[in-house]
């Protein structure tokens, strides 16, 4: 047993616990990216010309109503179209809801896919899983998050993890299913780094960048050197996969806590007040700003959860009756926060010359029912919804696909989750016919056979 602090114990393989390594509670380990990266390049599975590409994935947890946001139906009956009016946008011929005026001002940079659907159950975590991995959770196989697959194939840049989740991974969704925000069968070494803090708080600090009080910096360095000496005397153990994974966890923790690059990237106090206020002084707004800083600092993939669960806070989950919000309530609470943060992010990336190399993806677990329910809300509807893309080589100011006259089903160019995931991989320079090392060592296709990127976007 290899102990790194007084009360901890080190487990091996997938049993490794993060607190067993420097008490870094939410750390996703660095993984063994360089060998895989070199192998992938040699095999032609990644495009070296796109190595500078990054992605910010905003997951609109709770699921926005397509009819009240991105896919208005002003000519439908009132019980279908809802209370909001469409407005013109900066993209010719594209209208959005009046509750998204700032998004309308950057619509020329956004491509909307209005014909997305999936075949999963109409429960939140089923949608979370399929939209972030391209697959339903079935047969006990937990497919890696798209950012974790990128981590495996591309490796990290510098001292920062390749995949970061802000502010933390999703909570409960009601279906008792994996949420899709993990390394899956690639192993815990490819779990994302989760912030576990609210960046809008006045004294915001990243817990994993701070040495724990019980383990001062000098002791951390001594234990690092002691661990190194112990491992050098354990040749057989050191050659094992378990040892390499443990070493990766420890080394990542050490590098994050001692890295000026990491501290600088997470330090929102470096941003002018006017920029912070432009994004919105709330959790989502500051997460979007922090995502931009992380991308600038070299992080390859940032996932932002607009909310953490559908049970303990107001979200896009607009069933109408308490504790959920109504369609009208969405106008005053949820939409303004999202509208400000998202538009500021797209505009800021564009002004800084980062948008072309940064794909910004807007996803949700499903859409909402075409007909308003008796409680004044809309219920779960995986049969049709809208997803959005900006930057990363995507041509903005366009709409791909269309829903029927009441926003119930795709009428043109149906798009399924594997195509959404393939589009992300394509933008980031990964070949969709790449294979990962799957369960039991069998090759596992990055994207299900028969699915490719949404080519109309590029």
Give residue-wise pLDDT tens across range 96-154.
999 999 999 999 999 999 999 999 999 999 999 999 999 999 999 999 999 999 999 99
Q: How far is the C-alpha of 63 from the C-alpha of 83, rounded, in Å?
A: 18
How far the first Cα of the chain sits from its last, in Å, is 52
Q: Report residue 425 as tokens.
A: 């991989």
Whether pLDDT at 170 is above 80: yes
Whether pLDDT at 216 is above 90: no
CA 159 to chain centre: 20
Whether pLDDT at 2 is above 80: no
Predicted pLDDT at 225: 59
214, 163, 147, 33 alpha-carbon torsion, rounded to 10°: -90
3-state secondary structure (DSSP) of residue 164: strand
Q: How far is the C-alpha of 41 from the C-alpha of 245, rounded, in Å?
A: 23
Q: Report residue 241 as tokens.
A: 């996969």
Nearest to 345 by CA among 333, 335, 334, 358: 358
Predicted pLDDT at 206: 85
- Give pLDDT tens digits for 59-104: 999 999 999 999 999 999 999 999 999 999 999 999 999 999 999 9
Residue 182 φ/ψ region, left for φ over 0, alpha for ψ in the -120 to 50 degree band, beta for the rest: beta
Mean pLDDT value across residues 392-399: 98
User: 444: which strand partners?
Assistant: 436
| Percent of the chain topping pLDDT 90 | 73
Q: How far is the C-alpha of 74 from the C-alpha of 435, rounded, in Å?
A: 45
- Give pLDDT tens digits for 230-277: 555 555 545 555 555 555 555 666 667 678 888 999 999 999 999 999
Q: How far is the C-alpha of 119 from the C-alpha of 336, rounded, in Å?
A: 31
Q: How far is the C-alpha of 25 from the C-alpha of 239, rounded, in Å?
A: 26
Predicted pLDDT at 45: 76
Whether pLDDT at 26 is above 80: no
More confident residue, 227 or 152: 152
β-strands 398-400, 110-116 pairing: parallel
Phi, psi of 129 (to 5 degrees): -65, -50
More confident residue, 280 or 312: 280
Predicted pLDDT at 250: 56
Asked if 29 contacts 189 with a C-beta cutoff of 8 angstroms, the reply is yes
Q: How far is the C-alpha of 8 from the C-alpha of 19, rounded, in Å?
A: 7
Least confident of 25-39, 164-178, 379-393: 25-39
Q: Report residue 251 as tokens.
A: 């080394």
More confident residue, 185 or 214: 185
More confident residue, 403 or 207: 403
Mean pLDDT value across residues 161-167: 97
Averaged pLDDT of the chain:
86
Q: How far is the C-alpha of 1 from the C-alpha of 5, rounded, in Å?
A: 12
Predicted pLDDT at 1: 27
Least confident of 13-22, 253-262, 302-311, 415-424: 13-22
């Amino acid at each position: 047993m290899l102990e790194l602090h007084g009360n901890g114990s080190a487990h091996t393989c997938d049993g490794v616990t993060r607190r067993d390594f420097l008490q870094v509670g939410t750390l996703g380990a660095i993984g063994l990216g360089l060998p895989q990266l070199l192998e992938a390049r040699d095999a032609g599975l990644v495009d070296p010309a796109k190595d500078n590409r990054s992605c910010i994935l905003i997951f609109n947890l709770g699921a926005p109503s397509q009819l009240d946001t991105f896919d208005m139906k002003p000519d439908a009956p009132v019980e279908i179209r809802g209370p909001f009016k469409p407005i013109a946008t900066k993209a010719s011929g594209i209208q959005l809801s009046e509750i998204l005026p700032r998004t309308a001002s950057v619509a020329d940079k956004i491509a909307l896919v209005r014909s997305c659907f999936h075949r999963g159950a109409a429960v939140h975590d089923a949608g979370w899983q399929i939209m972030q991995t391209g697959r339903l959770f079935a047969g006990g196989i937990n497919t890696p998050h798209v950012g974790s697959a990128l981590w495996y194939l591309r490796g990290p840049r510098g001292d920062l993890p390749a995949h970061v989740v802000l502010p933390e991974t999703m909570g409960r969704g009601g279906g008792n299913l994996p949420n899709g925000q993990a390394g899956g069968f690639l192993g815990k070494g490819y779990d994302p780094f989760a912030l576990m803090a609210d960046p809008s708080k006045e004294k915001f600090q990243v817990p994993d960048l701070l040495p724990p009080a019980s383990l001062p910096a000098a002791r951390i360095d001594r234990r690092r050197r002691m661990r190194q000496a112990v491992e050098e005397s354990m040749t057989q153990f050191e050659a094992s996969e378990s040892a390499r994974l443990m070493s990766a966890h420890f080394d990542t923790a050490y590098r994050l806590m001692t890295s000026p690059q990491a501290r600088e990237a997470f330090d929102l106090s470096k941003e002018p007040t006017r920029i912070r206020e432009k994004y919105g002084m709330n959790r989502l707004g500051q997460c979007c700003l922090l995502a931009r800083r992380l991308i600038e600092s070299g992080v390859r993939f940032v996932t932002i959860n607009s909310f953490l669960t559908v049970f303990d806070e107001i979200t896009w989950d607009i069933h109408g009756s308490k504790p959920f919000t109504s369609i009208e309530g969405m106008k005053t609470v949820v939409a303004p926060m999202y509208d400000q943060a998202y538009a500021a992010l797209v505009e800021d990336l564009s002004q800084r010359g980062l948008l072309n190399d940064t794909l910004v993806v807007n996803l949700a677990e499903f859409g909402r029912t075409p007909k308003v329910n008796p409680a004044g809300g809309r219920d779960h509807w995986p049969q049709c919804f809208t997803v959005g893309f900006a930057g990363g080589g995507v041509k903005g100011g366009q709409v791909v696909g269309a829903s029927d006259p009441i926003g119930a089903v795709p009428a043109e160019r149906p798009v399924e989750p594997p195509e959404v995931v393939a589009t992300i991989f394509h933008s980031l320079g990964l070949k969709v016919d790449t294979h990962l090392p799957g369960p039991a060592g069998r090759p596992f296709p990055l994207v299900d056979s028969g699915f490719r990127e949404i080519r109309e976007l590029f």
